[in-house]
Structure 1
Amino acid sequence: MPYPHLLAPLTLGSLRLPNHVVMLPMGTEMGTHEGLFTEREIAYYTARAAGGVGLVMTGIAAVSQDYEQINPGLCRVDTDDAIPGLTALAESIHAVGGRVSLQLTAGLGRNINVVDPDRAPISASDNPHYANPDVLCRPLEVEEIRTLVRRFGEAAARAAAAGIDAIDIHGHTGYIVDQFLTPAWNRRTDEYGGSVENRCRFAVEVIQAIKAAAPGLPVSFRLSVDHKFPGGRTTEESQRIAVILAEAGLDFILADDGSYEAMDYVFPPYYLGDGCMVPAAKALKEVVDIPVVACGNLDPDTAEKVLAAGDADIAGVGRGLIADPQWCAKLAEGRREDIRPCIRCNAMCVGNAFFALPLGCAVNAQVGFERERVLTPVETPRHVVVVGGGPAGLEAARVAGERGHRVDLYERDTRLGGVLRPAATPDFKKELHAMIGWWERQIARLPVTVHLGHEIAADSPELADADEIILATGSRPLVPASIPGIDGPNVVGVIDAHEGAPLGQRVVVAGGGLSGADLALELAQGGRDVTVVEAADEIARDLILINRMTLLRDLATAGVRLLTGHTVVAVDADGVQLRTADGEDVRVAADTVVTAFGVLPETTLADQLKAAGRTVRTVGDCVTPAKVGEAINAGYLAGAEV
């Protein structure tokens, strides 16, 4: 067996699980406005259970609204109204042979998203609200703490009555249980503050209340081992906490890092690399005897190595199971190469949640539509021509082929991938590159014929007998011809730079969007002297905040000079002439200037075919240049609709 540690059976308390993989708790935003489970959310979780994961762990469910107004839509189990939905969830997951754990929270405390003007947010002490520092939290009184402890027990009893298999306690990332554990936020002088034992008292009482209310259900706790901000909790302090929590009766513990102050560790982007929080699990393994779950960008190979090395007992996979619910089943079937990679972009999973939108996925358009977007074979196969082998075209061709259509895919380059190929050259974007190989393998088994180095024009005979034409012709670089010297011999386009065009030691990247910023980071990490010039007041402002936090930190570490609010006026053999918003002229010496001003949709073929009366579907950047996830999702829909 190629993954003997991951795929070996596992016992957690009273649960016998088929493997050592758990689906980490992640919010879905698929519930009702009142916070109850819906058929849509149940279908999402059930698909992961059917895919063979050992234990499905839900996103947070609030146990109380006694002292804090829970955000609309956040899952709630504070009344018996929750039991029917919980029962439906448990029955659905059990019907496919799975097991489910419900994650419980007392609330967000200083991190709550919406402050109620009629009552102050709560916390362990009078901490400033994270997003509104002028708002002070109200310290919970002792009787209120005890009420919350009872609420955990009541919620656990409801879960047990509904058939839920395990309970997880949300104790990380600076939410309210974590606020009690941490000296930075807990300055109490009563029995719930001071010593590490006192700061753990709330969490210990919660564990004991759950154990008493739901006997036989395994209980876990998710702990931030390193908060990753000055003054936050350190690994050594968390080791002491973990020992106390384990002694209170935990069956297993989830180890991660981060906080709202270091949110990129809560949802680690591709910049942080594989297994970025494994050290947290290893640290807890050193001090506790209960199983420890590792997390943080774990692909199957990294996860197997972590378990084989004894750095953790269980692999926690979150976004990887969003991208491919069959993650575990494919491993067990010896189909590692068929697992759809998670590209760690955070765009439609975490990004959607930030805007209270239902969970989605950049690479898997079926997420959140597990019931509706089922690919069924067509009764009458048609001939589908797809023009463009980038992400939108590849996905359209794959989906149309999955449905049984005969597909011809034409790509003018000699390689598939489109803009993904140059964009994925940095090592920190290797999962993005892996998507190209995934598509190649999937379409190789389908009625899809790939034609490389084959450009299609409006009068090409290849279009003559096409029943459906899907155009995914992408975009073209925007290079302002009004800038003197922009066509000089020392000027290189960002795509050519990514693909290995010769560059000097001193490089100016003209354009600070994601493409330019990622290239700057790659070049600086390779030893070059890099300056990024951006007319706007921010670098990579279209990037999700979490990813941007890491990018900016890495750019600073690599020594990249960022000149925002600067416009390129001219380029010459020795560098670039810039102008600030105030009209000041600035000169930057450079051996090479890389243009990364953005792109424009490539609509020529679409315009010609429409003018000739042909019906076409356009997807991806040739419609509106956007992020890769939007292109892939549009490609899926186009392929599913033909």
Structure 2
Amino acid sequence: MQKKYPNLCKPIKIGNVNFRNRMFSAPMGGTDITADCTIGRASTAFYELRGKGGAGAVTVSELVVHPETEGSHMYHLDLHTVGALSSFTYTADAIRRHGAIASVELSHSGQYAGTYLTDKDKKSGLSQWGPSAGVRPDGLEVKELTEEIIADIVAAYGKCAGLAKRAGFEMIMIHCGHGWLINQFLSPFFNSRTDKYGGSLENRVRFAQEVVDSVRKEVGPGFPIELRMSGSELFEGGYDLAEGVEIAKLLESRIDLLHVSAGTYQKGFSVTHPSMFVPHGCNVYLAAEIKKHVSVPVATLGGLNDPAMMEEIIASGKADVVYMARALLADPELPRKVMSNRDEDIIKCLRCFTCMAERAVTSTRRCTVNPLIGRELDGVEVVPSSRPCKVLVAGGGPGGMKAAITAAQRGHKVILCEKSDQLGGILKSEQALSFKYEMYELGVTLGKLAKDAGVEIRLNTTVTKEYVEKENVDALIIAVGSEPLVPPIPGLKGENVVVVNNYYLEKDKVSNDVIVFGGGLAGCEAAIHLAKECKNVHLVEMRTELAPDANIRHRPILLTEIENNNIQVHTGYKGLRITDEGIVCADEAGKEHLVPGTTVICALGQSARRNVVEDLVDCAPYVAQIGDCVRASTITTAIYQGYHAALDI
């Protein structure tokens, strides 16, 4: 078969190990880390899914090598903890049996121990160690590592690598980036030592060299060692790309694969994990430059999810391997689809940070577009029904389409009715926002998958009680969504007002002086888009803070974008009336102010279509309500509920 993306699909040999393609699964931390810091069964299934999906390698993260100086609740591997070695062995086997190479990331957070603890107060009870003494931005004291402790940590890297090899892992990744301990030694910002580990670049690289040598001694020649580094720290005081090149040159002779990332967690989370507001592949230039100066294969990453872009990266010689993390949560089968020329079926990552926010808040995983993530033990295969029946889905939004696809995969006869002339629901409105276009594409892809699954799609069809009774269905899934809130504020239905959901249809009505009325997530994102179009934007919000409905990872990035795009924010302002000159608002003291603007974007939220639900709720033997028609919520909720409603038929 002729491959559409031959370079992505081409095998690669690293060390003495052959990898089936150039698409690798980047390090992602598990969820059910046991009290003893072993890999729980759910995490084993979590990693296995990417192996099953066709990735060339799957990296387990993070294995803390020296708990005595890094007491974070992450994976540990030793022989005295019951279940430690066996948990790693079962995980390596789960990955390898699908043809992927199992890798493990060896790590030490240094002075940032405890970053991923859900209970942040526990950080104060951990020992914070770094290359130099100091005080963290949050006030925690950092102690300087002695040469004796450094030697012990170096030995621990080797010991853990040897145990990982014993467990069946076939590659080791050493984490030297993102502000963790080895990066702290490399960085002039963190490292002010005056001994053999500080000062000159050669001295600052010494610790990394000793770590790699320790690992090599334990795993032997030919066993692939991958070094993950930040090509540049990308902040003032850190090392730049030119110095990153020199660091790479000083380490390349000891390693088999150089994995080039970017930035630090502490100085730029959205740089290390590119957000929806920046281009895909924005960090690839770092790997491309470093590759010019080293002879070992180079890997790159950074918000990659488009096979065409990744093919070009490999074909043009910018890198030899591409890594994905979030993209393989959204669609674990992405590599398999690329290998079989089914790239049009890929469900793309939205870069919404639901996955990382959920881990930070609840210590679990969830993905907006993939209901399996974090719940792989519940089953990853859609099992055919023993009693196929006739199913009607009312509503062609993301939840309704996911329900229809899943029901069809189970062998049911499925009819999907959508009252408008296009599938997608609320996703249709996202096509006008460049940084959210992938949400619109999600609707297009789900529509294709529904057709491919055999779903009968009826557009321009409103589902009523009489319609359901006429079709005589066995099951009805109600996914009629929500509608914009347009309260009875004088002037809010005027010609100068555009409801945010309709912006994609009425873009030409929007003037250069715009007021976004409503500072929730939708309003903030609309304001950012308009500001990027060089419009003068005011953002009005009745509450005292913006976007409380945004997740914990996305919200800080969102607020930074609002600040950087010079959006004029008015919080604590209650809209009283809309005029041709703008919105008259009352502040918290009741004083009136005119916020000027000739166009108003109404973004005051959504309201569940409960009246429609109530008319349909008794129309079939099995009835399920999903998504926004239950309560205005998120794409995540709609897709998750749609999937499980179909499984319950």
Q: With structure 1 as the length reference, what TM-score do the two structures score?
A: 0.95
Q: Aligned in 2, Cα 1:488/1:94: closer, same or farther, shift over 3 Å?
A: closer
1:200 alignment partner, SS class: helix
Give per-residue Cα distances to partners, 1:4-53, cap 9 Å, x unaligned.
21111101111111111111101121332222123322222222112221
SS at match of 1:37: coil
Q: Does 1:627 align with 2:629?
A: no
> Which residue in the other structure is 1:255 paired with?
260
Report the AA paired with residue 179 of structure 1: Q
Match in the other structure for 1:158: 163
CA distance in 2, matches of 1:314, 1:118: 40
> Aligned letter for 2:62?
I
Moved more, 548-557 or 46-55: 548-557
Quick one: distance in 1 between partners of 2:531 and 2:156?
A: 52
Do structure 1's residue 219 and structure 2's residue 231 form an aligned pair?
no
CA distance in 2, matches of 1:565, 1:572: 20
* Further displaced range: 572-581 or 121-130: 121-130
User: Residues 86-129 of structure 1: CA distance to partner in whole angstroms, max 9, x if unpaired?
Assistant: 21122222222221111011235235234454554111112333
2:555 to 543, 548, 557: 548
Alignment of 1:438 onto 2:440 = no
Aligned position for 2:532: 525
2:596 to 575, 583, 589: 589
| Structure 1 counterpart of 2:133 | 126
In the alignment, does 2:206 pair up with 1:201? yes
Give the residue type in structure 1 aligned to 2:312: K
Check conservation: 2:474, 2:622, Cα contact below 8 A. no
In structure 2, the partner of 1:85 is 87
**Is the deviation greater in 12-21 or in 32-41?**
32-41
Find the aligned partners of 2:133 and 2:273 in 1 and give their Cα distance.
27
In structure 2, the residue matched to 1:317 is 324
**For the residues of structure 2 that align with 1:21 and 1:126, how far apart are their CA atoms?**
40
Question: What are the equivalent positions in structure 2 for 1:303-382 lying under 5 Å apart?
Answer: 303-347=310-354, 349-373=355-379, 374-382=381-389
Aligned to 1:491: 497
Aligned pair 1:178/2:169, yes or no?
no
Measure how far apart 1:332 and its partner are: 1.3
Change (3 A) 1:385 1:504: same
Compare 313-322 and 364-373 and name the one that shifted more.
364-373
The one-letter code of the counterpart of 2:479 is: A
In 2 relative to 1, CA 161–398 (structure 1 residues): closer, same or farther, beyond 3 Å? same
- Measure, in 2, the Cα distance between the counterparts of 1:112 and 1:229: 23
1:8 aligns to what? 10
Residue 207 of structure 1 contacts residue 250 of structure 1 at CA under 8 Å; is this kept in 2?
yes
Shift of 1:463: 5.6
Match of 2:43 in 1: 41
Name the counterpart of 1:265. 271
Task: Tell me which amino acid in the other structure corresponds to 2:170.
Answer: D
Closer, same or farther: CA 235–583 of 1 in aligned 2, 3 Å = farther
- Cα distance, 1:542 vs. partner? 2.1
Secondary structure of 1:192 counterpart:
coil
Q: Distance in 1 between matches of 2:113 and 2:433?
A: 34
2:296 equivalent to 1:294: no
Q: Secondary structure at the match of 2:642?
A: helix
Cα deviation for residue 229 of structure 1 reads: 3.0
Shift of 1:419: 0.4
CA distance in 2, matches of 1:446, 1:489: 43
Task: Give the C-alpha shift of residue 575 in structure 1.
Answer: 1.0
Aligned-residue offset at 1:445: 2.0
Between 401-410 and 85-94, report the one with greater CA deviation.
85-94
Q: Secondary structure of the residue that 1:498 maps to in structure 2?
A: coil
Q: Retained in 1: the 8 A contact 2:31–2:42?
A: no
- Comparing 497-506 with 590-599, which one deviates more in the overlay? 497-506
Contact in 2 for aligned 1:529/1:560 (Cα 8 Å):
yes
CA distance in 2 between counterparts of 1:119 and 1:394 reads 47
Partner amino acid, structure 2, of 1:353: R
Does the CA-based 8 Å contact 2:519-2:540 persist in structure 1?
A: yes
Deviations 1:382-431 (A, max 9, x none): 11111111111110111011111111111111100000110242121222
Task: Name the SS for the 1:156 alignment partner.
Answer: helix
TM-score normalised according to structure 2 size: 0.94
Question: Per the alignment, in what secondary structure is the counterpart of residue 355 of structure 1?
Answer: helix
Q: Which shows bigger deviation, 421-430 or 378-387?
A: 421-430
Inter-partner Cα distance in structure 2 for 1:125 and 1:33? 31
**Paired residue secondary structure (1:61):** strand
Q: Percent identity?
A: 31
In structure 2, the residue corresponding to 1:272 is in which secondary structure?
coil
Q: 1:609 to 1:461 in 2, by over 3 A?
A: closer
Aligned-pair distance for 1:597?
0.7
Q: Conserved in 2, the CA contact under 8 Å of 1:385 and 1:463?
A: no
Q: Residue 55 of structure 1 corresponds to which residue in structure 2? A: 57
**Residue type at the aligned position of 1:316:** Y
Output one character per residue of 1:228-268: Cα deviation in whole Å (capped at 9) or x when no partner: 33323322222221111213x01111111122221112222
Report the residue type matching 2:495 in the other structure: P
TM-aligned CA distance change 1:277 to 1:546, over 3 Å: farther
Whole-angstrom CA distance in 2 between matches of 1:406 and 1:111: 53
Report the equivalent of 1:76: 76
Shift of 1:171: 1.5
Matches of 2:591 and 2:298, distance apart in 1: 57
Letter in 2 for 1:195: S
Code of the aligned partner of 1:158: L
Structure 1 letter corresponding to 2:171 = A
Larger deviation: 288-297 or 424-433? 424-433
Q: Please state whether the residue corresponding to 2:503 is helix, strand or coil.
A: helix
* Equivalent position SS for 1:459: helix
CA contact (8 A) 2:468 2:619 kept: no
1:22 paired with 2:21, answer no
The DSSP-based 3-state class of the residue aligned with 2:134 is coil
Find the residue that maps to 2:584 and give its secondary structure. Answer: strand
2:425 counterpart SS class: coil
Alignment of 1:408-419 (within 5 A): 408-419=415-426
SS in 1 for 2:403: helix
Distance of 2:630 and 2:126 partners within structure 1: 48
TM-aligned CA deviation for residue 448 of structure 1: 1.2
CA offsets 1:473-515 (integer angstroms, 9 cap, x no match):
111111221x222222212211112333411221100011121
Give the C-alpha shift of residue 274 in structure 1.
Answer: 1.3
Does residue 539 (structure 1) correspond to residue 541 (structure 2)? The answer is no
Are residues 352 and 405 of structure 1, via their aligned partners in 2, closer, same or farther at CA, if it must alter by over 3 Å? Answer: same
* 1:191 lines up with 2:196 in the alignment: yes
Residue 95 (structure 1) aligns with: 97
Partner of 1:227: helix, strand, or coil? Answer: coil
Check whether the contact 1:60–1:102 (CA below 8 A) recurs between aligned residues. Answer: yes
| Cα offset, 1:186, TM superposition | 1.0
Q: Is the 8 A contact 1:267 1:350 kept in 2?
A: no
Secondary structure, counterpart of 2:438 in structure 1: helix
Residues in 2 aligned to 1:86 and 1:574: alpha-carbon distance in whole angstroms: 65
The more displaced of 443-452 and 396-405 is 443-452
**Contact 1:269–1:546 (Cα < 8 Å) also in 2:** no
Alpha-carbon distance between aligned partners in 2 of 1:207 and 1:433, rounded to the nearest angstrom: 45
**Whole-angstrom CA distance in 1 between matches of 2:591 and 2:251:** 60
Quick check: 1:238 aligned with 2:244? yes
Residue 578 of structure 1 corresponds to 585
Unaligned runs of 5+ residues in structure 2 are none
Deviation readout 1:511-554 (Å, 9 max, x if unpaired): 11121122222222223221111122332232234333433333
Paired with 1:110 and 1:51, the residues of 2 have a C-alpha distance of: 33
Quick one: distance in 2 between partners of 1:192 and 1:584?
Answer: 62
**Contact 1:565 1:580 survives alignment (8 Å):** yes
